[in-house]
Structure 1
Amino acid sequence: MSSLKPKEIDFNEQWSIVLGTVRSVISMGRFGHTNKATWQERFFDIYYLCVATPDSHAERLYEETKKFLEDHCKSMKKEISESDQNMLSIYVKYWTEYKTGSDWLNILYAYLNTHYVRKRQTNDLDNSYPPFECNSDTNDAPLVEIGEMALDCWTRIIIEPVKERLVKLLLEQIHLDRICECVNQTTIKGVIMSFVDVCQHKKVNALELYEKSFENRLLQATGEYYREEGNRCLTKHDCIQYMKKILLLIDDEEFRSRKFLNPTSYSKVYNECLQRLVCDHFDTLKSECNELIIKEDLDALNNMYKLLKPTHIGINYMVEKLQDHISRIGHEKIQSLKGENLSTLFVETLLELHTKYMNVIKETFVSDPEFVSSLDKACATIVNMKYGNRLSAKAPELLAHYCDSLLRKSSKAASDSEIEEKLLSSITIFKYLDDKDYFQRFYQKMLARRLINQQSISIDAEEFMVTKLKQICGYEFTGKLARMFQDIKVSDDLNIEFLEYLKSELSSTAHNQTMTGLIGLDFNIYVLQANSWPVSQPTTNTFILPNLLEKPLQMFEAFYGKKYSGRKLCWMYNLSNAEIRMTHLDRSYFVTMGTYQMAILLQFNEHQQLTINEIEEATKLNIKELEKQIISLIDAKFLLAETSNLASNSIISVNFDYKNKRTKFKVPLLPPKEASHDSESSQRAVEEDRKFYLQAVIVRIMKARKKLKHNSLIEEVITQSKQRFLPSIHIIKKCIEILIDKQYLERSSNDEYSYIA
């Protein structure tokens, strides 16, 4: 093994040996092959030159190497410059061997790089800010490692003088590739990447040479080419064909970029193509957009989306036009709806529209959020449209009726999964409602009827719907609905306890008797919290309960009074039902009817005919309610009247010829003509509820904030209320004035409110 101890070295003799290896390495064997032993010897030769005594030859070695590389580059430059058609091929050939050779040379000179170049670089950095000013005549370039110096020589001596010719030839070759001529991909890629690789050692502006010398020229040429190509295509094709054509052109150019260019150029070339082929012709695309949406030409719209989405122009125009189109189609469909089952038609039409355009957006616009948002806005516009002079949209009521039809028992029984799926679909429409509190009011009334009349298809389905509403609007929105279910469950327990109470009170031995055996009839009670149910007892109606029911009610009141002292029961006869058996006909019928209807029919157990005055005296119903109930029984053909116009002396008799195919059925409690009145009363109730809700929101905000500007208060009220409804500014101002009158708030200076209470 050679000794590493420094020694005297004859530089000229040693350099001539090193030079032969350097020449072989930098030219990749064209001047002789370097074996492993020779490589190892040259490595030590360079080491000894650097550590030679009495003086190191490192600086001279560096300079001689630099001179050799410069001379070598000049010789290659001469050959490259003199070439004509083969210039790119010759350039790539020399560059490839020179680049590889410079990498190996840098390894061979590792000791010089480490112990001479880097130390000098460190010293130069330390002396950048000398403590004393001095005049320096040295103007030498900073030292760099041998590999970097080799690349610098290539840049200065070869690239700079011939780059104009190189770039011109490159652009010509790329143009030939665009017009489908055969070109040498490897050569073009090699020349272009040399502009990048030759500056790889730079820490700042490493791509400056590539960008300034080649990329800028390429982008300019690309823009000019596609400007002409776009104009030519537009004269030959219509808009739809033009979009297909330029998509192919853009795809081809993207592929070409990946064949030839540095990755940093991909997006720049792509954007240049879009600018010339799409943005420059946006007016043409814009003029065709609306027609394509109306015709629903999905392929063409998909192409337009692909072209406009990446541009600075964007897809806003397409989004607006699609939203307008969906809104127009939706309004036309809703306004054309007719028929008895309007609620089902309304919801199913909206869901069909929503599903259709959601699929269009998914397949044509790849579920772009902007188009999804446009569908949401369009559906919200359709759902919340107010027709005629209505104070609110019809949608909340129709949606509530649709849910009622799903959750009410009917002959068309559906599976639980089908019901849940349809309820989930109805939630889609519910989300678009502005007046969710209107829906709540209608839904609550219909839920109350289903629960009271035992018409719910299943409690699980009912609770599923309420859970979904709670997820969207919160507990406050569904609190009363939840308490209604709780009342039904508590009432079931009360009825069981009441039966046990009856057994203990009426019989000490017969513990297995039923309710019918104990009090003569099957008796079921619902105890409802007054504030949770949308029901009320008629204030103008008096009623004498049939003797048959007096004792059971008195016994229940006694039982309830013992269980809950201090609570008062208020009987809702107008909501109660009874099932009676008719035995006066040729066959028995079991009929479910209202309490008032039952009381009227029971009067005919002892009489075959009665006047209206006599019935009124026996039941104590006011004449208006009595006539309504009698008419419902006449319409059901249980009773007969001598004249169509009822008067106080009109005679009512039993219809002994009544026949029905069904032996068990129900007489409607609410005649259809009252439905519109019910809707109007619900809307009035909601309007009143809104005022109280807004007052509570205002107080809650002001209690937390203490002081607030008028506009800020309005904004916060709208923000907190929009989950239930969108309040008008006029109503908010009115509620603020009410709270000022009630001394919850006071108006201070500078349009500001303060909390008082």
Structure 2
Amino acid sequence: MSAKDSGNIEVVWETLLAGIRQIFGHQTIQLSELMALYTIVYDYFVLGYIGEASPSTHIPVNVYEEYFEKQFLIDTEHYYKLQTVKYLSNHSVMEYLTTFEAYLNKEQQRMIYLRQSTMKQLIDICSNLLRQDQLEPIYAEFEMLLNNNNNYVLKKLFKLIYWMPKAKTELKKIIEQHIHTKGLQAIHAVSVQAINDPKIYVHTILDVYNRCLIIIQESFIGERDFTEALDKAACGLEYTSKFRRMFQDVAISKNMNEEYVMWLENRNERTTLDFSVMIFNSNSWPFPSSSTINLAPELKPAFDSFTEFYTKQHNKRKLIWLHQRSKGELQTLYLKLKFILQVSGCQMSILLLFNKYPELIVKTIQDETQMTLETLLPVIKQLLKSKIIKHSCTSEEVGENSLRMEDVLKLNTDYNNKRTRVNLNIPVKVEVNDDSQCVRDTIDKDRKLVIQAVVVRIMKMRQTSKDTQLIGEVLKQLSAQFRPDVSVIKTCIDKLIEEEYLKRAPNESDTYHYQA
């Protein structure tokens, strides 16, 4: 190559570079002028001639790369690196994604004047720079988008990181934690109502599952990794596995009731009750142990019959009746109007005693039902409050807190209600407190595991962290779900040290190293 050619190349490059920098700096330059400069580069470097002269040979590739491509890519990378940092500091992820697409489209338009090899490298530089360098802000806003069900932006974000395995893995973890937390919050919100109606648990979790499934399908195109995140849920705590077992329990119970009816028919037997049973796996349902109840004669044959059937079907399983959480209906036959009373198992056992006795003292009710006082007294108080039973002495005013073992009770023959179907199955205060504590204990346990998962994720990324910095980051990442006590976080950190996920620095007790 002659010195004259070299000089021409440098002049063309410097002129084009100046124009490009003006565009990057938002300075005035006519589009036609810039395109003319691109055309010169295309003619000279790609086709091998300049102006109207006919090319004798093509310019070697190394000349193109040395005088134009190398510096062009360096300047472009520098420009977009500054632009993305500045832009994200003042704009949302949604605005960033829209601008990112515009950047790529603009570069693709310019690339028609350059070699295909340049276009590929430039698009890779822009994509990697705009995506990889800005992942932390994306992670931070990703969970907000999930909470707001912003599927449109989530879909754009998914397209942005689709070819980035590391980013996909991180977003998968965030989704798992999000689903787990939403599930715990939903269960906690219905824990009181679900005490007497376990189906509420199933329907609540099913609702969470379906809403999250819609997000996976619409925002992540049903991507297998994210579907697995939904199934796995909550950082490996098998939340969805529990849900599936709970939901399966409902389906299995339906089949088992049908099999029970066939079993009775084959034995030429039938029950006098409209009777059905829900079978729950004790490992999946957060119910505390149930106290024993001596069933009324009207109920016992049906329960004994089903127990026999179940034992023959599953001879290695133990069937425990949760009478406090069962429910049924009774019809009044002693009033002018007939009422259907919706009652709990405990209420039914007490009310059926009045078929045998016109009046009962509280002590007799306990002897007949074998309920503990902690269970019996609140149930009786609830029946008195509903006015379905009353004290035998009508002149005596007895408050809820003054019920005595020698008090005499009887049915209220003057009972009346505007409704013919009356729900008496209202959660009893003592039972609700006990069961709610059980649910809270389960939630606290799961939250500790969520905290541990967040600590591991932070430490895996940072490798080393001070105690205060780590705690602050955990609080920040969990702020949208719940706010754990600092003492709980420290307990979780100690647990991870014990399990050798982390270790303390030899000479700095407030510094942790990731080692798993």
The TM-score with structure 1 as length reference comes to: 0.42
CA distance in 2, matches of 1:369, 1:245: 36
CA distance in 1, matches of 2:308, 2:177: 51
Q: Does 1:520 align with 2:272?
A: yes
- Give aligned pairs, total: 404
SS in 2 for 1:310: helix
Contact 2:184 2:443 in 1 (8 A): no
Please, which moves more after superposition, 252-261 or 550-559? 252-261
Q: Determine which structure has more spread, i.e. the larger CA radius of gyration.
A: 1
Contact 2:257 2:277 in 1 (8 A): yes
Q: How does 1:343-742 map to 2 (within 5 A)?
A: 350=147, 352-353=149-150, 355-361=151-157, 367-369=160-162, 374=167, 377=170, 380-381=173-174, 384=177, 394-398=181-185, 422=211, 424-425=213-214, 430=230, 433-437=233-237, 439-440=239-240, 443=243, 447=247, 451=250, 459=251, 485=252, 489-503=255-269, 515=270, 519-525=271-277, 537-538=289-290, 541-556=291-306, 570-585=320-335, 587-605=337-355, 610-633=360-383, 638-639=388-389, 642-649=398-405, 654=411, 656-661=414-419, 663=421, 667-668=425-426, 673=433, 676-683=436-443, 731=495
Letter in 1 for 2:370: K
Whose RCO is larger (CA < 8 A, sep 6+)?
Answer: 2
Contact 2:24 2:79 in 1 (8 A): no
Letter in 1 for 2:19: E
Deviation of the 1:547 alpha carbon: 1.3
SS in 2 for 1:273: helix
Contact 2:287 2:435 in 1 (8 A): no
Q: Which residue of 5, 17, 20 corresponds with 1:227?
A: 17
Contact 1:592 1:666 in 2 (8 A): yes
Contact 2:342 2:425 in 1 (8 A): yes
Partner of 1:4: none
- 1:264-298 CA-to-partner distances (Å, cap 9, x unmatched) read 85984555433334426743553234324468265
SS in 2 for 1:628: helix
SS in 1 for 2:331: strand
CA distance in 2, matches of 1:557, 1:546: 16
Partner of 1:131: none
Contact 2:388 2:415 in 1 (8 A): no
- 1:354-413 CA-to-partner distances (Å, cap 9, x unmatched) read x13223336xxx54426796587468458748xxxxxx97434136689999xx989xx9
CA distance in 1, matches of 2:388, 2:33: 79
Letter in 1 for 2:437: H
CA separation of 1:648 and 1:223: change in aligned 2, threshold 3 A = farther
CA distance in 2, matches of 1:558, 1:409: 25
Q: How does 1:37-186 map to 2 (within 5 A)?
A: 163-165=2-4, 167=5, 171=8
SS in 1 for 2:400: coil
Contact 1:279 1:311 in 2 (8 A): no
Contact 2:94 2:153 in 1 (8 A): no
Deviation of the 1:622 alpha carbon: 0.6
CA separation of 1:578 and 1:732: change in aligned 2, threshold 3 A = same
Please provide the CA RMSD for this pair: 5.5
Partner of 1:300: 99
Partner of 1:324: 137
CA distance in 2, matches of 1:613, 1:247: 99
Partner of 2:73: 274
CA separation of 1:608 and 1:297: change in aligned 2, threshold 3 A = farther
CA separation of 1:569 and 1:325: change in aligned 2, threshold 3 A = closer
Letter in 2 for 1:288: Y
CA distance in 2, matches of 1:376, 1:632: 53
Deviation of the 1:657 alpha carbon: 3.6
SS in 2 for 1:645: helix
Contact 1:600 1:619 in 2 (8 A): yes
Partner of 1:148: none
Letter in 2 for 1:682: T
CA distance in 2, matches of 1:554, 1:626: 23
Deviation of the 1:632 alpha carbon: 4.8
Deviation of the 1:621 alpha carbon: 0.6
Deviation of the 1:612 alpha carbon: 3.6
Deviation of the 1:545 alpha carbon: 1.1
Deviation of the 1:248 alpha carbon: 7.0
Partner of 2:112: none
SS in 2 for 1:621: coil
Letter in 2 for 1:224: E
Deviation of the 1:246 alpha carbon: 12
Deviation of the 1:677 alpha carbon: 1.5
CA distance in 1, matches of 2:99, 2:448: 52
CA separation of 1:425 and 1:351: change in aligned 2, threshold 3 A = farther
The sequence identity of aligned pairs, in percent, is 13
CA separation of 1:263 and 1:526: change in aligned 2, threshold 3 A = farther
CA distance in 2, matches of 1:361, 1:328: 11
Contact 1:574 1:596 in 2 (8 A): yes
Contact 2:342 2:424 in 1 (8 A): yes
Letter in 2 for 1:443: F
CA distance in 2, matches of 1:589, 1:667: 15
Deviation of the 1:543 alpha carbon: 1.9
Partner of 1:8: none
Letter in 2 for 1:327: A
SS in 1 for 2:90: helix
SS in 1 for 2:274: coil
- 1:678-729 CA-to-partner distances (Å, cap 9, x unmatched) read 3223247769999xxxxxxxxxxxxxxxxxxxxxxxxxxxxxxxxxxxx978
CA distance in 1, matches of 2:94, 2:281: 56
Partner of 2:123: 310
Contact 1:358 1:375 in 2 (8 A): no
CA distance in 2, matches of 1:325, 1:575: 46
The TM-score with structure 2 as length reference comes to: 0.57
Q: Which runs of 5+ in 1 are unaligned?
A: 1-159, 172-217, 334-348, 386-391, 452-458, 460-484, 504-514, 691-726, 737-757
CA separation of 1:525 and 1:731: change in aligned 2, threshold 3 A = same
- 1:252-275 CA-to-partner distances (Å, cap 9, x unmatched) read 678656665769859845554333
Contact 1:309 1:315 in 2 (8 A): no
Contact 2:175 2:230 in 1 (8 A): no
Contact 1:226 1:273 in 2 (8 A): no
Deviation of the 1:624 alpha carbon: 0.7
